[in-house]
C-alpha cells in the first residue's frame, strides 16, 4: 500500500466529514494552488474541527 493510500485509510478511520469545499485553481507559470476547507469531527475525541489548507502544486514534464 502506498503512503497516500495509508493516509486516506487513517483519515477515514479517524474523521467524519460533514462538509467540504474546494476553490478554483489559481495558475501561475508551472504552479497552481487550490484552497480546501473541511468541517469534521475527530472520531476518537469527538472534537469538532474546521480546517483550511492551501495546497501548492508544480507541473513538470506534464505531471503534477
Strands 26-28 and 31-42: antiparallel
Assess whether pLDDT exceeds 80 at residue 1.
no
pLDDT tens for each residue of 4-28: 789 889 999 999 999 999 999 999 9
N-terminal to C-terminal alpha carbon distance within the chain: 21
Domains and CATH numbers, the chain: 3-58 (3.10.450.50)
pLDDT tens for each residue of 32-60: 999 999 999 999 999 999 999 999 999 99
Amino acid at each position: 500500500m502506498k503512503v497516500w493510500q495509508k493516509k486516506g485509510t487513517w483519515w477515514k478511520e479517524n474523521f467524519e466529514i460533514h462538509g467540504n469545499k474546494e476553490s478554483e485553481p489559481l495558475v501561475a507559470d508551472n504552479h497552481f494552488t487550490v484552497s480546501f476547507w473541511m468541517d469534521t469531527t475527530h472520531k476518537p475525541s469527538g472534537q469538532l474541527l474546521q480546517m483550511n489548507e492551501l495546497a501548492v502544486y508544480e507541473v513538470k514534464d506534464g505531471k503534477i
